Amino acid sequence: MAVIVDEEIRGVSPKSGRFARNSRKMSGTVKLTCVQLLMVAFATLITMSSAGLQYGFYNASCPNAEQMVTSVVNGLIDANPAVAPALIRLIFHDCFVAGCDASILLDPRSANSSPEKTSIPLAVAGYNAVDQIKTAVEAACPGTVSCADIVAFAARDSVAKAAGYYYSVDSGRRDGSVSTAFSILTNMPSPLFNRSDLVARFIQKKLTVVDLVALSGAHSIGVAHCSAFTKRLYPTVDPTLDATFAADLKKRCPAPARGVPDNLVNNSVVTPAILGNQYYGNAMGKKVLFNSDATLLTGSDTATLVSQMAADPAKWIAQFAVSMVNMGRIGVLTGTQGQVRKNCRVVNS
């Protein structure tokens, strides 16, 4: 029997009011079955100490750390909804490149003029949001909460605002001191990747095909630069693109040439401000921007998962939560490894 649950469990918990409002926008009111909720709880609980992380890591050292992060994130998103996709994107790019160590946040310096962020066109709003969160947390608990954990908490809270559901995040990450633009090439999935490339990259990060398809749903929100997909429009239109959709994209994205602006386009034409399973309907309708999205339909396993997640918002929500936690454990530094930066943009001196 399907039930709407409004109390927190370890892993994911719909927020009773906001969840109901946003889920109706997704595909009618989402109802999580007891089995699906237990799946999330079990999958999360059995790996509570995974990679040296733990739930409630700051309970003693900074008891209000997560609440402070949530408060700042909620305020920023209320003022500017674009902050939500920016923070969600930030954890993807941080974790995949060098592990979840906040290396994506490091600014160019004389000792390193080309850190990761110089090769990834992420929204400034995400970086600025982390700065504001760090300032608030440092004022209460100096030198205690890592930037890497702030990125993970902020992504979780952004999902709660944009999709209306909440999942718990384990913590105890430490901040790295190495960040190189070159590492993007060998670690970050490209929007140009085919299915085989994507699967291989996810396996490299010890993630599964299910994680791949579930996390791709983040492309239901936010924007993308035309340059990430114009090869599907010019010189000829990719046959896996809906013709009308392609014609509309061409109006926004002219053929690449010197002096032509690299415009921004909504990831989803249907629900651009809602993180939800509409992405999978868009994929099946040939209305997704990236080759890496369209290619999910070229393999029987990934295509089946796309179809299932398009048909069942609760299935996607449950798996998305588990996959976000899985991704947040890639290559983490814990214990005495790394450091806790005082300023997320600069390695401690």
pLDDT digits (tens, 9 = 90+) for 57-95: 999 999 999 999 999 999 999 999 999 999 999 999 999
47 confidence band (pLDDT: 50, 70, 90): very low
CA distance 229 to 204: 24
* Choice among 26-35, 239-248, 304-313 with the minimum mean pLDDT: 26-35
Render pLDDT for 114-145 as a digit per residue (tens, 0 to 9): 999 998 888 899 999 999 999 999 999 999 99
Q: How many angstroms from the chain centroid is the CA of residue 108?
A: 24
- Of the residues 26, 70, 92, 93, only one is catalytic, namely 93
Look up 93 and say whether it is catalytic: yes
Helix axes 209-216, 195-204, angle to 10 degrees: 110
Phi and psi, residue 16, nearest 5°: -50, -50
- Residue-level pLDDT at 206: 96
CA distance 343 to 18: 33
CA distance 9 to 165: 11
- Residue-level pLDDT at 17: 35
Residue with tokens 């209305």: 287
- Residue-level pLDDT at 38: 52
For residue 307, the tally of other CB atoms under 10 A from its CB is 15
3-state DSSP of 116-183: HHHCCCCCHHHHHHHHHHHHHHHHHCCCCCCHHHHHHHHHHHHHHHHHCEECCCCECCEECCCCCCCH
257 confidence band (pLDDT: 50, 70, 90): very high
Q: pTM, whole model, 2 decimals? A: 0.87
CA distance 333 to 349: 19
Residue 41 has pLDDT above 60, yes or no: no
